[in-house]
Amino acid sequence: MLTYWNRTREQVINKPLFEALPEARGQGYEELLNGVFRTGERFIAKELPVRLVRHEQLEQTYIDFVYEPFYEQDDRITGVTVVCTEVTQQVLARMALEESERNLRNMILKSPMAMCIYKGPQHVVETANERMIEFWGRPATDVMDKPMFEGLPEAKHQGYEALLDHVFTTGESYSAQGIPVNLPRPEGLKTIYINLLYVAYREADQSAGPGRISGVMAVAVEVTDQVLAQQQVEKSEASLRDLSAQLDQQVQQRTGQLNDSILDLQRSNDNLTQFAYIASHDLQEPLRKVQQFGDLLKNQYGPQLGEGLTYLERMQWAASRMSTLIRDLLTYSRITIQQESTQLVPLNEVLQTVLTELELRLQETGAVVVVGSLPTVSGDASQLGQLLQNLVGNAIKFCQPGAVPQIEIRAGQVAASDLPTGVKPTRSAQAYHCLEIVDQGVGFDEKYLDRIFQVFQRLHGKSEFGGTGIGLAICEKVVANHGGAITASSKPGQGATFRVYLPL
């Protein structure tokens, strides 16, 4: 108990409790003790919060405890017996797991890919984003909170029940590319082609056992256009073989190479065992090969493809877009895992490295970057470099049409009491470094301030400004990992100022 209170015997023995522990006042414990003493009724509580002084500051702790009235031989209550167990680490660990699960569900709902979670052996649809609802071709009310093959009976007897059962039972992932499935569409039942991934889903609450499988996560990407384009290519190849016997051997050779490459991709995909690794690493190679073979097909058979050339170009554009998205998602997922670091990082040196990496863009745009004296902070140099590269890169990208980007980077200090309203760093400190990145670009309406730091959120069309909508989400995670906060001020057409607050 002395260890939990962070007191010595001399500080507490023979003293009133709330004199020895003044910080415990006003948290409801006086009333609880008085009630037990007065009524003689035992009080039991689990995971009750209490703030105690530790490491020279108030810290939130959690306890399981019992207040038991202490009786003398004549049945008079003369005190209260306290049995207490600290469960702070368990509570914080559970909260972290629950937060991780909420983040995963939010990621699913906001993902540009069709994603859902099936729960239990009946594969009840628990979570599904709009893309997956559209993919199924049925209203959400038909499928949500129902067994998958009850809400979508058209999917029965196509082999997917056995696949889901196998993943749920064994925990082994399943992935496939370009497989057919018959689903309802406005014109009736239609065969479409998909890239499919099933991954065993484990609950954040592991009280029933570590690693307990409670469902299956599904990711589906419709590739009907790509498959039809490939079929069109195969038809064109057949026509060319009929027209010229001399090209027969070359066509067969290239077709064989393409089939070998597809088999290589399938073998590679069979080795994928978890969603994050699949989505962030192994899919990069298939995407590069799709683009490479697309170039080969276009160069060799472009004039003969006809409408198939349009399918091919759409396939290559989608592959390039997905590759960029995967790289950004990998960066985001790595940064999301918070790690403590005590490395001293000179931000001026980090910024010089960033400007060197952006040298070509700076030269192409003629951008003028004015840099003030920046502080040395405690943190991770790589993550802080990603933070500065995203902010400076955005300042270059979102320039006024026809204008030369004007960017100023400066720093100062601000007391915790002077932080702007709504700015809440993830770590308490008496003062903070304030890093400002100021541009004269297109700006934005501040009513969208919260939205710009969310994954996949964009304020401008893709044709107007490129990007995946993940850069500022990465910035927010980096700053949170370093105990700080990030915000911005702007008006449309009047530039923007991004402010990063990091603990001193």
| Same domain for 353 and 333 | no
- State which residues of the chain have pLDDT below 50: 208, 265, 268-273, 276, 338
Pairing of strands 368-371, 406-415: parallel
| Same domain for 499 and 423 | yes
What is the pLDDT at residue 252? 77
| Domain boundary pick from 337, 369, 389 | 337
| Same domain for 375 and 331 | no
What is the pLDDT at residue 291? 73
| Same domain for 369 and 492 | yes
DSSP 8-state secondary structure symbol assigned to residue 146: S
What is the pLDDT at residue 92? 86
| Same domain for 418 and 296 | no
What is the pLDDT at residue 452? 86
| Contact call for residues 461 and 470 (beta carbons, < 8 A) | no
What is the pLDDT at residue 329? 64
Residue 457 lies in a domain: yes
Residue 252 lies in a domain: yes
Joined tokens for residue 322:
């997905």
Read out DSSP for 398-462? TPPTTPPPEEEEEEEEEEGGGSPTT---SS--SEEEEEEEEE-S----GGGHHHHTSTT--SS-T
Task: Return all residues near 420 (Cβ < 8 A) that are at least 6 apart.
Answer: 487
| Same domain for 261 and 201 | no
Instruction: Quote the domain boundaries for residue 396.
Output: 344-503
| Same domain for 246 and 186 | no
CA angle 162–163–168, rounded 5-degree value: 95
| Same domain for 285 and 259 | yes
| Same domain for 499 and 361 | yes
| Contact call for residues 308 and 230 (beta carbons, < 8 A) | no
What is the pLDDT at residue 270? 47
Joined tokens for residue 50:
């209490």
What confidence tens digit (pLDDT) does each residue in 43-54 have? 998 988 998 888
What confidence tens digit (pLDDT) does each residue in 253-265 have? 777 776 876 676 4
| Same domain for 360 and 475 | yes
Longest dimension (CA), the chain: 113
* R_g of the chain, CA atoms, integer Å: 30
Number of H helices, E strands in the chain: 19, 15
Choose among 303, 292, 302: nearest CA to 258: 292
| Same domain for 433 and 405 | yes
| Same domain for 482 and 459 | yes
What is the pLDDT at residue 428? 93
- What is the CATH classification number for the domain harbouring 495? 3.30.565.10
Say how many CA atoms lie within 13 Å of 228 toward its Cβ.
15
- What is the CATH classification number for the domain harbouring 73? 3.30.450.20
| Contact call for residues 215 and 113 (beta carbons, < 8 A) | no
Q: How far apart, in whole angstroms, are the C-alpha atoms of residue 383 and residue 391?
A: 13
